Every structure is written in C-alpha cells, then in structure tokens.
Amino acid sequence: MDREIYRYIFDSSLNMTDIESSLLLAIVATESLHGECQVRLDAAHNFNPARRVCVIDAGTPVGRDLNRLFTGFVAREFGPNTFTVRRVRDCDHKPQEAAA
C-alpha cells in the first residue's frame, strides 16, 4: 500500500525560517481542528532547511489537513511559483512525529 507523502521543495530566494514559521502555523491550525493530542499522533512531517525540503505524510485525515493548510499558507504568503509539491511513494526524509 502506497503512503500519501508529499514533498515540498522551496526556491532558493525564500528564507527557510519563514517557511518553518508557516509550517508551525499550519500545525497550530490543525490542532484547532483535531486537538493537540491527535496532531501529535497523526501529523507526521519532516522539515530540512539545509535541503530546502519539507515532507508531510498525508495518510490520515489529520495529515491531509496539515498538508492542505501548509500548502495554502505558503502559496498565499510566498506565491504559488516559489515552491513545488509532489506526491511521492518513498522519500529521503522519513516523516517523524510532529512533536519530535
């Protein structure tokens, strides 16, 4: 069974600290929808600023909401052409528990 994993790659013009802030905002928004405990359990992700990559596991309803919110936030804040997002079968960055 393939997992629903999305890999974001960000343009070199973007400050990765700002991208991380958008990810944290998306996590907080997801907590508003599902509760903090459920997000800790089901919102697996990995953020690697050195590689300019973020990976989100969207295999659960919580993960799908995190993915949608993050995509919306970065597209609105930085523009839809400043990053690419692709669904991948496997990736170099294994998603980790949100609290990690």
Sorting pLDDT into bands at 50, 70 and 90, what band is 96?
low
Angle at 48 between CA 42 and CA 50, to 5 degrees: 175
Across the range 57-66, mean pLDDT stands at 96
Residue 55 has pLDDT above 60, yes or no: yes
The 3-class secondary structure across the chain, one letter per residue, is: CCCCEEEEEECCCCCHHHHHHHHHHHHHHHHHHHCHHHHHHHCCEEEECCCCEEEEECCCHHHHHHHHHHHHHHHHHHCCCCEEEEEECCCCCCCECCCC
Q: What distance in Å separates the CA atoms of residue 40 and residue 36, rounded to the nearest whole number?
A: 6
pLDDT reported for residue 100? 40
pLDDT reported for residue 3? 76
pLDDT reported for residue 97? 46
Across the range 27-54, mean pLDDT stands at 97
CATH architecture of 5-88: 2-Layer Sandwich (3.30)
Across the range 19-35, mean pLDDT stands at 98
pLDDT reported for residue 2? 57
Across the range 57-82, mean pLDDT stands at 97
